[in-house]
Amino acid sequence: MSVFDDPGHFGRMWADRYDSPGNPDPGPAVDFLAERAGDGRVLELAVGTGRVALPLAARGVPVDGVEASPEMVAKLRAKPGGDGVPVTIGDMADVPVTGPYRLVYLVFNTLFNLVRAERQQDCLRNVARVLAPGGEFVVEAFVPDPAGFDRDEQVQMRSVTEDSATIRLHQYDRAAQTFVRQTITFDRDGVHLEPFAMRYCWPEQIDELAHRAGLRLVERYADWHRHPFDDTSTSHISVYRR
């Protein structure tokens, strides 16, 4: 199955490294989401290893999760409190739960892991389906920078040692707003491939997806600390309401 069509691909590849040092601190996201949730039920799409869901649940917020990768869920279950977060295995675009939820959220650019435009739309429509009246959908995503893909192809050297060499290649389809990234490592055991793909969107395009799903933008910030969003912002936290 192509990386473009396999919802569990990312989890199978990254489960063992997903919690490695250098990942963003989930604390500000947890603070923001706990305040929005109040005492209502919450759903995290692409819950992963529980980096956000577990500290949120530890505050008394009832959190459910959806995750395509059993490997990711196994990592979540092995953590303290991991057995207390119900997780449904499935494609986040289908939102395979019933709700209703006070809050649904997608963090760490995960909306863009749906690499077909129609599946991004499916996701928002299904989020609207499981939201309680007045419920909210929170999305964290980067703001695409065209300067970062000014050429259709890019090659980067990642590391070189006496025993191995790693390069990373990107190929962009600017019309489709997608890219395929291949990280290739050569070592004594052979050649190792790590494919990855995304479909990026500008904030106003996500607003349009939301509008079609019956959701409206009510707040937008540059980060979890609620700094104002403007033309210089490289990321956004967008809150949509049913």
Per-residue pLDDT band for 14 (boundaries 50, 70, 90) equals low
Distance CA 16, CA 28 (A): 24
Q: Could you tell me if 14 and 181 are in contact, meaning their C-beta atoms sit under 8 angstroms apart?
A: no
Report which of residues 62 and 22 the model is more confident about. Answer: 62
Structure tokens at 83: 């057995």
Structure tokens at 216: 């409206």
Distance CA 153, CA 21 (A): 29
pLDDT for 8:
60
Q: What is the rounded average pLDDT of the residues 120-125?
A: 98
Distance CA 46, CA 113 (A): 10
pLDDT for 5:
64
Per-residue pLDDT band for 224 (boundaries 50, 70, 90) equals very high
Residue 11 has pLDDT above 60, yes or no: no
CA angle 126, 197, 200 (to 5 degrees): 60
Q: What is the rounded average pLDDT of the residues 190-202?
A: 94
Q: Could you tell me if 120 and 94 are in contact, meaning their C-beta atoms sit under 8 angstroms apart?
A: no
Per-residue pLDDT band for 155 (boundaries 50, 70, 90) equals confident
Residue 212 has pLDDT above 90, yes or no: yes
pLDDT for 3:
56
**21-25, 70-74, 133-137, range with the lowest pLDDT:** 21-25
Could you report the per-residue pLDDT of 51-99, keeping only the tens digit for each?
A: 999 999 999 999 999 999 999 999 999 999 999 999 999 999 999 999 9
Q: What is the rounded average pLDDT of the residues 7-21?
A: 63
Residue 2 has pLDDT above 60, yes or no: no
Q: Scanning the structure block, which residue is given the tokens 């939102």?
A: 95
